[in-house]
Amino acid sequence: MAEASSAKARPGSGSPWVGQSIARVEDAALLSGRGRFIDDIGVGPGTLHAAFLRSPHAHADIISIDVSQAMRSRGVVAVLHGEDIRAMTSSLVVGVKAPVECWPMAVGRVRYVGEPVAIVVASDRYRAEDAVDLIDVRYAVRPAVVDPRAALTAEAPVLHDGFGGNVASDRSFRYGDPDGAFASAPHRISIDVSYPRNSCTPIETYGVVADYNAGEDAYDVLANFQGPFSIHAVLSRALKVPGNRLRLRTPPDSGGSFGVKQGVFPYIVLIAAAARATGRPVKWIEDRLEHLTASVSATNRAVSLAAAVAEDGRILALDWDQIEDCGAHLRAPEPATLYRMHGNLTGAYDIRHLKVRNRVVVTNKTPTGLNRGFGGPQVYFALERLVQRIGVELNIDPLDVITRNLVPADAFPYKTASGALLDSGNYQEAVRRGAREGALAELKARRDAVRAEGRLYGIGYAAVVEPSVSNMGYITTVLTPAERRKAGPKNGAQATATIAIDPVGSVSVHVASVPQGQGHRTVLSQVVADVFGLKPSDIRVNTEIDTAKDAWSIASGNYASRFAPAVAGTAKLAADRIAARLRRVAASQLNTEVDDIVFVDGHVGSRRNPDNKISFSRIAALSHWSPAVLPDGIAHTIRETVFWTPPELTAPDEGDHINSSLCHGFIFDFCGVEIDRTTLQTRVDRYVTMHDCGTILHPAMVDGQVRGGFAQALGAALYEEYAYAEDGSFLTGTLADYLLPTTAEVPSPIILHMETPSPFTPLGSKGVGEGNCMSTPVCIANAVADAVGAKDIVLPLVPAKLAAIVRGAEPAPPARQNSPMQEKRDGDRKLRGEGEAVVSAGAQQVWDMLLDPNTLAGVIPGCHRVERISDTHFRADVTLGIGPVKGRYRAEVKLSDLDPAKAVTLAGSADGALGFGRGEGRITLRPAPNGGTAIHYIYEAGIGGKVASIGGRLLDGAAKVIIGQFFAALARTAGGGSFASERLSWIARLRQWFGGQR
């Protein structure tokens, strides 16, 4: 990465600031702990705090909700559930035309683990959290579906009655003559792939502070929402107020987003409704467990992709069949993830014939939203895997397949078959330079040498187009042309910037784009400083958004890599307009022609006579101090706001052609990976990434964006997956189970650049922030496929998946004998165990104790009470802790197969805010060798819900400890004895895990 230079000294006489790696303006505050994130900003007196009760089930009817005990809890002001929210708000907009409601809180039915069921508002967060445990919800569990292909079947449980089954949208497209191309092609090569569900994990989670003004019927909301601000209309509609009565503000700093912060908007509705219900401001900060379980994730996608291929590897046509899993609710802007890349389905390749089928399905998983790459990883994983397979099956070097199909260098601007307008580039030159400067020949020689030693080594490639500055109209491609005509045209990518000059000539910049670490303030200060001949330190940039005061549009926000090409470019246009007027003012003051005026080193002067000049601050302030001296016809120079939208972004046409994005960078990646034969860990040996992102505004920050995207993509390739059990239980709810790469796992990529400026943007720049999230997962997958000779590669490439490829499938475990479980819930996390306790009492005494509710209440860990429903049916309330959290459960236990004083079968269930469990166990009593009674037990249980997601690494041990505590207490109550669980001491092991004997 280039060294940052000081912003206080000009890089050279006449040299522009743009293109220099100056020190970031933002860093001084952030690195010294003076950043102002949403949780740092003070709240008004009387502000209340919220906590959510979330569903432990993926799919269930809500039979009843009893909030009475929670309401009696100290400090609680209100408890709201779905019907309360429904009474105060309207359904959120659904992403397709269908008679389906989408509430931000479950109404009548829950559809994913973690869905909000109730919200507690209390004097502080601690009391709110405690009261959540006191809400009594009764559920009737329904079958769930989590696989998108399974969701299409007639047998699948239906999530929403307004959809056709679980299919929210089914559209087919045809461009050119794909059937003719497939009929005449000598080869048809196809691939079936599934892209997994993963997400971004910013350090800062969601945050909302909302207030309601009853007199104005207006809301004031502070949230770390990133946009797009088209969601503002969704929010005002949901809150039943006009847009001018919803003030939405953003904090000065954001602790990362990568797209995810868009998904905070349903919580804006909920917290605003809570503020209205209580008559006081309400604050909510999401915790990490909530964020992983219930924020938003990227879509997972099942793709069948076929190519009609000539003998030389030329791709003549593509046939896409995409099944997009958007989770339990189709919230705006979904299914945008699927259609954002619609114009780019041919990637960087010159393919004129295209057939597409897009199906959007709902499943019992977290709703999806914006994630870095936003549709690109899913498209390119299928397309670039197919390109690699073409090379393998035709015995052609995959790189040759790439180069033979690239869009010709003289074809730009190039219109793809489905309508994207690729603005500029020379893809062949980028590949040549990338291969040469990245030493591809040396890497191939290394691969051959390593393979000669019997090791697993492969090389992978990816060539992708990186779209940026999304066309707001692309999502309407999900509608038919007739539906679009009825709804009216939607298109464009309007960006907004304001330049203001104060009475002493100081320059301020405001843009409607919420930064999340990209360095907005630094780059904008460079751009505007160049226009006015000032230093970046002379420019103050404000990136907070206040919809009540600032200029903004529905396209405002920070997404789709729109900052450099659109937002920074619009700031330049605004500065240019003021500069043009200042030139006329200066020309009249300096008695010279307008064309002779230049802005240099804080002065405005004559190009021909450098001594004829005036300070910038003096000429800039004239509009404030002496507007009468301005030349005739010159407007003020106090403020200029520009709304810019490029004409290239039009609505979809009658043939469903859509230019989904304004700019299209190009990325060529290649890498070498080695797979350890023993551990099957994948190690990236070398990674080279060549980028053409047009004009580079700040080289160091561009490289930072590349490195950040690469690190996230490495996680997607090798570590990260939102895993669900078959019943919809979320299994990766902590960072112990949802694995993220750390600095130790991320190698340093070799970053290369070339620049072909975009003719469509004011600065010639294109987006660069998302590209490696699109190219890197498939590049690594292609390298692994090359190393192990596999056709089917499934991300993430964890050792367990590679073991099946390298070593073959594991043999099935031996059949389990005498399992006590009569009914298993497929997909639950399974707990199995066996153990023995010895008590000094006789068998009849022990038997009586097991059937006595008073005794059970005393020996069950965390038990509050045991109620006898019948002689063989008991109900208990218990509080249990597993891992980092604890919660209250309602347990039901039924006895069967009673053999008095000898044996009994216990079947039980437990439900609570943390999840649920179902199990069965057999207890047998027999005389102990040294007197007393030996109690032998064997059990098998399945657990699900939140407890399954957070306790994955502790469940077995915790269960054994709890069972051990039960039998130890039983032994004490019966008059002494001993306990042996699982033939080893789990308590001792837990002590070792957590640091000794304490």
**Which pLDDT value is given to residue 5?**
38
**Which pLDDT value is given to residue 508?**
97
**Which pLDDT value is given to residue 958?**
62
- Tell me the pLDDT band of 975, cut-offs 50, 70 and 90: low
- Tell me the pLDDT band of 988, cut-offs 50, 70 and 90: very low
Segment 160-186 shows an average pLDDT of 96
**Which pLDDT value is given to residue 815?**
63
The rounded mean pLDDT for the chain is 90
Exposed/middle/buried for 605, CB within 10 Å: 0-12, 13-18, 19+? buried
Tokens for 769, please give them: 């922030």
CB atoms within 10 A of CB 452: 9
User: Quick check: 772 pLDDT over 70?
Assistant: yes
User: Quick check: 604 pLDDT over 60?
Assistant: yes
How far apart are alpha carbons 6 and 11 in whole angstroms? 9
Segment 330-355 shows an average pLDDT of 96
**Which pLDDT value is given to residue 852?**
81
Of 85-94, 360-369, 560-569, 987-996, where does mean pLDDT reach its minimum?
987-996
Segment 501-510 shows an average pLDDT of 96
CB atoms within 10 A of CB 42: 6
945 Rama sector, left if φ>0, alpha if ψ -120 to 50, beta otherwise: left
DSSP string computed for 133-159: TT-EEEEEE------HHHHTSTTSPPS
User: Quick check: 153 pLDDT over 50?
Assistant: yes
**Which pLDDT value is given to residue 906?**
81
**Which pLDDT value is given to residue 7?**
38
**Which pLDDT value is given to residue 142?**
97
- Tell me the pLDDT band of 541, cut-offs 50, 70 and 90: very high
How far apart are alpha carbons 641 and 75 in whole angstroms? 48
742 Rama sector, left if φ>0, alpha if ψ -120 to 50, beta otherwise: beta
Segment 397-406 shows an average pLDDT of 98
- Tell me the pLDDT band of 764, cut-offs 50, 70 and 90: very high
Kindly report the backbone phi and psi dihedral angles of residue 941, in degrees, each rounded to the nearest multiple of 5, phi listed first: -140, 155
**Which pLDDT value is given to residue 977?**
56
- Tell me the pLDDT band of 981, cut-offs 50, 70 and 90: very low
**Which pLDDT value is given to residue 834?**
80
User: Quick check: 908 pLDDT over 90?
Assistant: no
Edge-to-edge strand order for the sheet containing 829-839? 863-870, 873-882, 885-899, 903-912, 915-927, 933-944, 829-839, 977-981
What percent of the chain has pLDDT above 90? Answer: 75
Tell me: the pLDDT tens digits for 710-761? 999 999 999 999 999 999 999 998 898 899 999 999 999 999 999 999 999 9
Edge-to-edge strand order for the sheet containing 300-309? 167-175, 353-361, 315-325, 300-309, 187-195
- Tell me the pLDDT band of 963, cut-offs 50, 70 and 90: low
Pairing of strands 60-66, 109-110: antiparallel
Tell me: the pLDDT tens digits for 255-273? 999 999 999 999 999 999 9
- Tell me the pLDDT band of 875, cut-offs 50, 70 and 90: confident
**Which pLDDT value is given to residue 500?**
96
Of 334-348, 386-400, 600-614, 853-867, where does mean pLDDT reach its minimum?
853-867
User: Quick check: 931 pLDDT over 90?
Assistant: no
- Tell me the pLDDT band of 39, cut-offs 50, 70 and 90: very high
Tokens for 40, please give them: 């740092």
- Tell me the pLDDT band of 980, cut-offs 50, 70 and 90: low
User: Quick check: 964 pLDDT over 70?
Assistant: no
Tell me: the pLDDT tens digits for 223-265? 999 999 999 999 999 999 999 999 999 999 999 999 999 999 9
Segment 844-868 shows an average pLDDT of 79
Reported as type and span, the H/E element at residue 643 is: strand 639-644
- pTM, two decimals, is 0.90
Segment 145-162 shows an average pLDDT of 96
Q: Would you give the end-to-end CA distance of the chain in angstroms?
A: 47
**Which pLDDT value is given to residue 948?**
66
Of 93-102, 682-691, 699-708, where does mean pLDDT reach its minimum?
93-102
User: Quick check: 857 pLDDT over 80?
Assistant: no
Total residues belonging to the chain = 998
**Which pLDDT value is given to residue 12?**
43
What are residue 891's DSSP bridge partners?
876, 910
- Tell me the pLDDT band of 991, cut-offs 50, 70 and 90: very low
User: Quick check: 987 pLDDT over 60?
Assistant: no
Reduced to 3 states (helix: H, G, I; strand: E, B; else coil), residue 436 is: helix
**Which pLDDT value is given to residue 9?**
43
Kindly report the backbone phi and psi dihedral angles of residue 807, in degrees, each rounded to the nearest multiple of 5, phi listed first: -110, -5
How far apart are alpha carbons 754 and 430 in whole angstroms? 7
User: Quick check: 668 pLDDT over 70?
Assistant: yes
Reduced to 3 states (helix: H, G, I; strand: E, B; else coil), residue 164 is: strand
Tell me: the pLDDT tens digits for 297-341? 999 999 999 999 999 999 999 999 999 999 999 999 999 999 999
User: Quick check: 949 pLDDT over 80?
Assistant: no
What would you measure as the largest C-alpha separation in the chain, in angstroms?
116
**Which pLDDT value is given to residue 40?**
94
User: Quick check: 4 pLDDT over 60?
Assistant: no
**Which pLDDT value is given to residue 878?**
79
**Which pLDDT value is given to residue 947?**
65
- Tell me the pLDDT band of 962, cut-offs 50, 70 and 90: low
